[in-house]
């Protein structure tokens, strides 16, 4: 499946089937010798009252991820297409907590929860929550914003995403000691108050065509600084996501597509 170009393999483990181990995941995720995906989605039985299912997210390297907005939409679409639910609105148990899903035509709108800016909640080694922090990159101090959307994000504002040093800075920021659990690194270019362009270097994956939680992180970071409107189109290499954050006390809503590409059987022999 894919959501805005962020691609996934989805495995139904609701009957209690064992998860693939890290080596199996690496083989499956290889784009030349396996299926090829940014992340693996595991659908399991719900754990909360009222939820229709739960899901877990594994990166290409076999590590677990805390949240994935594009993956959550794909899980929702898988459940609808498979007939698990026909409701126009339902709940999912995600690694970051319960999320609300609403079908809007061919798209899915997700309640992504409240952004967390306190350094200890990201986590980020900093003394206080400020709008911008600084890191030395390429011999200079560069400003970034930090936020958790269920997983940690650092957001850099750039003049052009096409010219942004995504891989070089992405690797450097992920290795920085101030992010003890690593971080997803976003590079945002403001086009106008209603539109931004974004590239994301993801933890455990590298650059992807889209990152749903990264789109939310970039949007709320710029909204918090009053640089963009509270309803924002985030244009990623793989497609466009709509992010709404009406006010600081509100939860974030992300709306975008989810597409079933194909299904099959993995033979690990």
Catalytic residues, which ones?
68, 211
Cα four-point dihedral sign 163, 166, 167, 173: positive
Cα–Cα dist 79/94, whole Å: 14
Is residue 147 within 8 Å of 221, Cβ to Cβ?
Answer: yes
Q: Which DSSP symbol is given to 121?
A: G
CA dihedral 44→48→52→55, nearest 10 degrees, is -30
Our CA dihedral for 107, 108, 109, 115, rounded to 10 degrees, sits at -120
The CA-to-CA distance between both ends of the chain, in Å, stands at 24
């Amino acid at each position: 499946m894919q959501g805005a170009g962020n691609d996934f393999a989805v495995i139904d483990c609701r009957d209690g089937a064992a998860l693939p181990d890290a080596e199996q995941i690496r083989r499956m995720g290889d784009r030349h010798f396996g299926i090829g995906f940014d992340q693996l989605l595991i659908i399991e039985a719900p754990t909360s009252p009222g939820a229709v299912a739960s899901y877990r997210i594994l990166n290409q390297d076999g590590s677990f991820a805390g949240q994935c907005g594009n993956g959550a939409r794909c899980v929702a679409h898988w459940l609808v297409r498979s007939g698990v639910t026909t409701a126009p609105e339902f709940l999912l148990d995600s690694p970051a907590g319960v999320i609300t899903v609403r079908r809007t035509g061919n798209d899915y709108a997700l309640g992504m929860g409240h952004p967390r800016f306190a350094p200890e909640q990201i986590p980020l080694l900093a003394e206080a929550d400020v709008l911008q922090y600084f890191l030395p990159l390429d011999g200079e101090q560069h400003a970034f914003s930090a936020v958790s959307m269920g997983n940690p994000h650092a957001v850099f504002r750039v003049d052009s995403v096409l010219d942004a040093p995504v891989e070089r800075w992405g690797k450097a920021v992920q290795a920085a000691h101030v992010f003890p659990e690593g971080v997803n690194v976003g590079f945002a270019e403001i086009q106008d108050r209603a539109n931004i362009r974004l590239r994301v270097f993801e933890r455990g994956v590298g650059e992807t065509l889209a990152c749903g939680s990264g789109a939310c992180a970039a949007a709320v970071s710029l909204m918090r600084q009053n640089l963009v409107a509270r309803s924002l189109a985030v244009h990623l290499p793989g497609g466009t996501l709509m992010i709404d954050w009406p006010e600081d006390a509100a939860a974030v809503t992300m709306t975008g597509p989810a597409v079933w590409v194909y299904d099959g059987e993995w033979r690990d022999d």
